[in-house]
Structure 1
Amino acid sequence: MHFRATQGRPSYWSYVIEAVILVGCFISALHAQSIAIPTTPASFEIDAAQSGSSEKGAQFGDFLGRRAVFLPSGFLNVRGVSFRDGTFEFDMATKPDSFFLGVGFRVESEANMEVIYLRPGASDTVEAVQYTPRLNGDAVWQLLNSTHEKASAHIPKSEWFHIKIVVQGRSCKLFMNGSNDPTLEVTNLRREPNEGGIALWALGGGGYFSNLSYRRDPDPKPVSKLPRYERAGLLSDWELSPAYDTSEVAADKYPNLAGRWEKVYAEDPGFVLVNRYRTSPAMFPMPSRDEMLKGRVKGAKVVFARTDIRSAKAQDKILKIGYSDDIVVYLNGKQIFSGKNALSYRSNDSLGTFGLNDEAPIHLNAGANELLVAVTEYNGGWAFQCELSPAP
């Protein structure tokens, strides 16, 4: 078969269609281009609290031979950026006393964004690079501890190094110093993949940023809704109460709640992420160990969650329990377990990280059994998980 060009003069509409296609290609190419972000005050949203006249504010100048912005603490939003999928690149340099240094993306507000950050003091350990979302007012770092949320990396001191973050749908990858292999690959970004801003972030000591640029994906792919997370033995369907101040509502007393209950569900790896549904107290500084031991700390929040366990017969089971920060568990109206797992509670260096680390023997009646939990939060991640396994 021979290819034969159509003879004759192209029609008017052929020119129009070609012009539309060319304009579309030009716009797509423009969106796909890398856009530099000058390290000048005009590139950022700077309020009075972040002004250069304050030691806590962003400062612009030269560092290690290049123009840079130094951020001592807080968030610094890039002006005029809307970003869902694409690439964000920058150079970073730490100070000897830098604790946390990173970026937020898909920024909806200071209370809601995705965050990837470095911990220079944890260089060459699995805590060096971390991902956490900020959900309803707090970063849930205590809850996310897999290799898709933490990674080891060498973080140089007092020298520039390069970071590239590639975001697509529910995943993102972080590359360091031009490597083709990602240092961290996040496979489950916890917030919905909506467009949002880009922000620099620092806490404790601060650090320097330079050579910032971003590139939008001109045609991001649709993202499907996550399926219900289920696993044998996992109690995944719950009803959640409103949040109450623990100084007003006691967690260690079975509640008599007439308020509205909301249907909620477990998600990977099995916990109910309360931060998704309720605003965190995000207490800082943390209450003392003695205050947490006494309970009913003013400013802390408690929610109640309930589910029905259907049993074909009377039988004994083991209830495995994970929680952050504190929990009280009731079965058929009777308290069967309580525990505390807040930052620095169990020991001075305890991080309060989440895990399915506790268990209690339980007896199920034939038919319906009500399991109710009271979960108290201070900061760092609000969640619980309950799973049934056979009794020994």
Structure 2
Amino acid sequence: MKQLIYLFIFLLSFQLLTAQNAPTKIEMTPSNWNTPDDALFENFDNRKTLVLKNGRATVKNLSFTNGTIEVDVYAKSTRSFAGISFREQNDNLEEVYMRLHKSSQADAVQYTPMFNNESNWQLYREYQASTSFKNQGWNSLRIEVANHSSEVFVNNVKVMTIDHLRTDQNEGLIGLWALFGNRFSNFRVMHSSNSEKEVATPINISENNIINRWGITKAYPYEEGKVRFEDFSKERYITVSTEESGLLPISKYVKKTTFGSFEQNKEEYVVATTTVNSAKAKTQIFSFDYSDKVLVFLNGKLLFNGNNAFRQKGVQFMGHMDINTNKLYLPLKKGENNIHCVVIEKANGWGLIGKLD
């Protein structure tokens, strides 16, 4: 009799544990979702589906920390983007999406943090992956989130590991995102505790001469040829820290006045400044990169004017950043020297990175 009781208790405990770890399906019905006005709920291919034309939908009254999120996306060969967002709060979120027109290309799948409603994929070229999409039927996208990291699967094949989620947010809303129209179905979520303390993977840093703190201004509208040094030389600056790699994701600290419309955004700029103290007059190399455009001043004199915007240098030019892309020979004077970088942005990633060689 005792053995039967123990067996019953074991089976009950196993069923409860299995039920807790089973995915929950969020039906594609208006009662479950906050959607844009032009979203459609339709029966299609014997399924309940959600059609997002351009925009984001979030699950009502559901917060997510760790676990698995999965959705099916109907095949499409024309240009479109379809993805999952998670830990959304205060206009910041994490996002992974499929570029369905880029099947088998190097950037078929991308990860980006969203800061202040702005995408930043240009700043994180390491988080892109090649995979092949089905050209008929449904493609599945699954994200497994564990504290600071995540793994991405397309059609049950792992395509990417995100070793350091960038927003530093531990929980928030979950949802879907589409651009140029996509159909979603079979949305599932499974929560897990991941109570083990996980140390965030250090963000690649190998040099101690990287600039890791900048003073930055607020955002201003940009007009070509109308930014003068005397206009910002007495600006108020706040001091911010870069990621360990030296990357300064400007949108994390500064909210643009026009945002969320990609290439339809208006250009805006901030000024980022740092001070170099030199024991004597000498020439020093400043290695740097930026997105989208930059003006570099040393002690009030314009030394560099560059444009690294998306597709500026050809239809396949992505505008990714690398700290060794540009080099300036700075004629430093004895004492204090001030570098001012006017960083201009429209969309896809507002960033600056630099080091003094």
Q: Is the shorter-chain TM-score for this pair beyond 0.5, marking a shared fold?
A: yes
Task: Report how many aligned residue pairs link the two structures.
Answer: 342
Q: Does 1:127 align with 2:103?
A: no
Separation in structure 2 between the aligned mates of residue 325 and residue 157 of structure 1, nearest angstrom: 34
Residues 103/231 of structure 1: CA separation in 2 closer, same or farther (3 Å cut): same
Note the 1:146-295 alignment, pairs <5 A. 146=126, 149-179=127-157, 182-204=158-180, 206-222=181-197, 231-247=207-223, 250-280=226-256, 281-282=258-259, 284=261, 286=263
Secondary structure at 1:80 match in 2: strand
Aligned mate of 2:332, from 354, 364, 367:
364
Q: From the two aligned structures, give the one with the greater strand fraction.
A: 2
Secondary structure at 1:82 match in 2: strand
Separation in structure 2 between the aligned mates of residue 311 and residue 227 of structure 1, nearest angstrom: 31
Separation in structure 1 between the aligned mates of residue 19 and residue 254 of structure 2, nearest angstrom: 40
Deviation digits for residues 339-370 of structure 1 (CA, Å, limit 9, x no counterpart): 11122333354332223322211122333221
Are 1:132 and 1:141, in contact at CA under 8 Å, matched by a contact in 2? Answer: yes
Deviation digits for residues 154-202 of structure 1 (CA, Å, limit 9, x no counterpart): 01112123222111122110122334xx211111211013211111111
Tell me the equivalent position of 1:62. Answer: 44
Q: Does 1:325 align with 2:292?
A: yes
Separation in structure 1 between the aligned mates of residue 337 and residue 63 of structure 2, nearest angstrom: 49
Q: Does 1:43 align with 2:20?
A: no
Deviation digits for residues 276-329 of structure 1 (CA, Å, limit 9, x no counterpart): 101133374747xxxxxxxxxx94211111111123333222211201111111
Of 117-126 and 240-249, the range deviating more from structure 2: 240-249
Aligned mate of 2:124, from 135, 144, 164:
144
Unaligned runs of 5+ in 2: 1-12
Secondary structure at 2:111 match in 1: strand
Q: Does 1:107 align with 2:82?
A: no
Residue 247 of structure 1: how far off its partner (Å): 4.2
Amino acid at match of 1:184: M
Separation in structure 2 between the aligned mates of residue 169 and residue 266 of structure 1, nearest angstrom: 21
Are 1:118 and 1:129, in contact at CA under 8 Å, matched by a contact in 2? Answer: yes
Are 1:32 and 1:218, in contact at CA under 8 Å, matched by a contact in 2? Answer: no
Secondary structure at 2:122 match in 1: helix
Are 1:119 and 1:129, in contact at CA under 8 Å, matched by a contact in 2? Answer: yes
Residues 227/120 of structure 1: CA separation in 2 closer, same or farther (3 Å cut): closer
What is the RMSD of the two structures over their aligned residues, measured on CA atoms?
2.8
Separation in structure 2 between the aligned mates of residue 285 and residue 167 of structure 1, nearest angstrom: 27
Amino acid at match of 1:36: K
Residue 81 of structure 1: how far off its partner (Å): 1.3
Residues 227/96 of structure 1: CA separation in 2 closer, same or farther (3 Å cut): closer
Residue 121 of structure 1: how far off its partner (Å): 1.1
Amino acid at match of 1:324: S
Aligned mate of 1:339, from 291, 297, 306:
306
Tell me the equivalent position of 2:71. Answer: 90
Residue 73 of structure 1: how far off its partner (Å): 2.1
Of 122-131 and 93-102, the range deviating more from structure 2: 93-102
Secondary structure at 2:31 match in 1: helix
Deviation digits for residues 250-293 of structure 1 (CA, Å, limit 9, x no counterpart): 43434345443211122143221111101133374747xxxxxx
Amino acid at match of 1:320: S
Of 377-386 and 158-167, the range deviating more from structure 2: 158-167
Tell me the equivalent position of 1:7. Answer: none
Are 1:128 and 1:151, in contact at CA under 8 Å, matched by a contact in 2? Answer: yes
Amino acid at match of 2:227: A
TM-score normalized with structure 2 length: 0.86
Of 227-236 and 96-105, the range deviating more from structure 2: 227-236
Q: Percent identical across equivalent pairs?
A: 27
TM-score normalized with structure 1 length: 0.79
Are 1:87 and 1:164, in contact at CA under 8 Å, matched by a contact in 2? Answer: yes
Tell me the equivalent position of 1:291. Answer: none
